[in-house]
Amino acid sequence: MKLRHGITLCSLPTTQAGAASGDTPNVDVVLIGGGTMSATLGTLLQSLQPDWSIQLFERLDRAAEESSNVWNNAGTGHSAFAEMNYTSPQPDGSVDIQRAIGITEQFEVSRQYWASQVRDGVLSEPRSFINTVPHLSFVWGQDRVSFLNARFEAMHRNPLYAGMEYAEDPAKIAEWIPLVMSGREGSDPVAATRMPIGTEVNYGELTRQMMDSLAQRDNFELSLNTQVRDLKRNADGSWKVTVANTSDGGNERSVNARFVFIGAGGAALPLLQKSGIPEAKQYGGFPVGGQFLYTTNQEVVAKHDAKVYGLAPAGSPPMSVPHIDKRILDGTPAIMFGPFATFSSKFLKNGSWTDLMRSITPSNLWPMTKVGLDNLDLVRYLISQLRMSEEDQFEELKGYYPEAKRADWKLWTAGQRVQTIKDVEGKGGTLQFGTELVSGAEGTIAALLGASPGASTAPSIMLRLIEEVFPEQVKSEAWQSKLRELVPSYGQALASNPTLLSEVRAMSRELLELDEPDLGQAAIDAPSPRQH
C-alpha cells in the first residue's frame, strides 16, 4: 500500500476498469470516508476478491476521527438488549419485539465478523476494542414498570435473550447498578432488566486496526487530507471521482472507479447528490449533534460496570435515549451520561456551517418542510434541549446517579448525526430514524445515510450492500464459501436456530476474549420464538 497525504506521491496503478480517459488512473473500488463503514467494506472485499484494487479517500489527516472516534459515539454494541426504543408497546398491553430481534441478529453478525478478523490476523488484542459490559434497561413509575415487565416477558423466552434477568426489588437492582440506586428517594416503583453479555466497543480502534491491515495490501491505497469534490459518470459506466488535497492548496486530481461507496457519515448526502443519480433526489437531511457529561474519577467509575438505558422523552429521536455507560476511552475507564441534543448546520463535527443549506434542493425542499410540520413533538424536544443549561443537564444526570457531584463531571461535544428525510410516495417527507442504504439502479454507486444503530451493525449493512451491487459474485461458490467462513451464520436466522446461536456465540466469545457467561444451553432450552 502507498499511504498518501494528498496528491504529492505517485499516482494509482492502472487496472482493467475501462476508464473514459487514458490519463486518469483506474481502480476497481473507491471508498469515500475513513470510518467504520468504509473500513468494514474494504476488509470484506479484500477477503472476497483480493485481486480488486481499492482507493480510499479521507479528508482529515487520520482515519476514524468523525463519528467512529471513541469520544464521538456511545460505544454501545447496539444489540437491542437494553434499548427500549427498539420494542413497541401494543394496544393489548403486549410488546412487539420484532425490530429488536432484527438488530440483535445483526449485532451477532458483527461479533462473528470481528471474531473471524481476529482469527485471520486483521484485528488483534480484542480487549483494545471490545469488552464485556452488562446491558440494563432501567425505569421508574408504574406505567413504565408495566411496560418493562411486558417487554421482558416477550423477550426472555426468545433464544436471543435467554439469560435476561428482571427485577423490581430495589435491593436486587442495587446489586446490579449501585451507582444508579444509591441515594434514590421517593416511592415510585422501579424495575430493571439485565443482560450479562452486553458489550462496550471502541469503534475508532476497531476501524484503525482494519485500516492498518488494509495498509499491508499492495492493491489498497489510502489518501488522507483528501476531499472528494465531484462525482461524474463516465460513458463506459465507471465513475470519475475528483478529489483535492486539503493540505497543499486544493490541487485537484481524478481517478476512475468501477464502483464507488460513499461512507462519509454526514457528508454522504451531499456527495450522493453530486452523483446526479435519480435515487438521490428523494433524500434530504437534518443535522443533530450531541453532548455527554463524562467523568474519569476512578472512585466513581469503579461503582458502575454497566450500560444503563432509560426511556426517551415522547417525540424525541432514538439517538436521544438517556443512558449512563461504562466506557473504555482508548484504555481509560470512564462513565458517560447523555446525550443532550445540540444543533449545528454542519453535517460533520469538522464540517462547514453551510452544509445544511447546500443540501437543500428543489426536489427535497418540500419533503424537508413537511417533516418539520409533521413532527412538532420532535421540534419542541429539540428546542427544549437547546434551552438546557449545564445545571439542567446535571439535574438530568442525577436522575440516573442521585449522588453525583458536579466537580467530577465535564461536558463533551460528540459527533454530528444527520437524520435522513425521505420523500415517500403517498406520504410526502418522512423522517427515517435508522440507517438507509441507497444504491444506483446500475449497482455502480452506493451510499449509507442515517444514524443509529450505525457502526454496531456495519458488517450486516455491508453484507447487504454487496448482495445488492455484486449479486452475481455473491451467488458464486467462491464468495459463498468465504462469506460462511467470515460469518458462520450467514443467511440463517439465529432466533429460530438456538443451536447455531450457541455455537457462534461461543466462537465469538473465545476469539474476542469476552468475559461473559455462556448462555448457550439457556438459548437451546428456550421455547420456540413467539411474541407475547
pLDDT for 204-225, tens place per residue?
Answer: 999 999 999 999 999 999 999 9
> Could you give the CA distance from residue 74 to residue 77 in angstroms, rounded to a whole number?
9
> Could you give the CA distance from residue 233 to residue 19 in angstroms, rounded to a whole number?
10
**pLDDT at 433 (0 to 100):** 66
Q: Which residues pair with 287 in a beta bridge?
A: 418
**pLDDT at 429 (0 to 100):** 72
pLDDT over 80 at 65, yes or no: yes
More confident residue, 326 or 375: 326
Which residues in 80-112 are b (16+ Cβ under 10 Å) and which e?
A: bbbbbbbbeeeeeeebebeebbbbbbbbbbbbb
**pLDDT at 1 (0 to 100):** 43
- Total Cβ atoms within 10 A of residue 303: 16
Q: How confident is the model at residue 7 (pLDDT cuts 50, 70, 90)?
A: very low
pLDDT over 80 at 504, yes or no: yes
**pLDDT at 198 (0 to 100):** 97
Contacts of 102 (CB under 8 A, 6+ apart): none
> Could you give the CA distance from residue 175 to residue 171 in angstroms, rounded to a whole number?
7
In tens, the pLDDT along 286-306 reads: 888 889 999 999 999 999 999
**pLDDT at 13 (0 to 100):** 36
**pLDDT at 80 (0 to 100):** 95
Query: Which of the residue ranges 5-14, 23-32, 360-369, 516-525 would you say has the lowest mean pLDDT?
Result: 5-14
Largest CA distance in the chain: 76
Q: How confident is the model at residue 258 (pLDDT cuts 50, 70, 90)?
A: very high
More confident residue, 342 or 328: 328
Share of the chain above pLDDT 90, in %: 66
What does DSSP say about strands 410-413 and 252-262: parallel, antiparallel, or unpaired? unpaired
pLDDT over 80 at 399, yes or no: yes
In the block, residue with C-alpha cell 476508464: 19
Q: What is the mean pLDDT of residues 434-440?
A: 85
Q: Which residues pair with 32 in a beta bridge?
A: 57, 262
| DSSP class per residue in 486-532 | H-TTTT--STT-HHHHHHHHHHHHHHTT------HHHHHHSPPP---
Helix axes 36-48, 458-469, angle to 10 degrees: 50
**pLDDT at 304 (0 to 100):** 98
First-to-final CA distance of the chain: 53
**pLDDT at 319 (0 to 100):** 61
pLDDT over 80 at 18, yes or no: no
Q: How confident is the model at residue 19 (pLDDT cuts 50, 70, 90)?
A: very low
Q: Choose the most confident range, by mean pLDDT, from 384-398, 424-438, 507-521.
A: 507-521
Q: How confident is the model at residue 393 (pLDDT cuts 50, 70, 90)?
A: very high
Nearest to 435 by CA among 416, 455, 459: 455
Cell numbers at residue 396, please?
438530568
- What pTM was computed for the model? 0.91
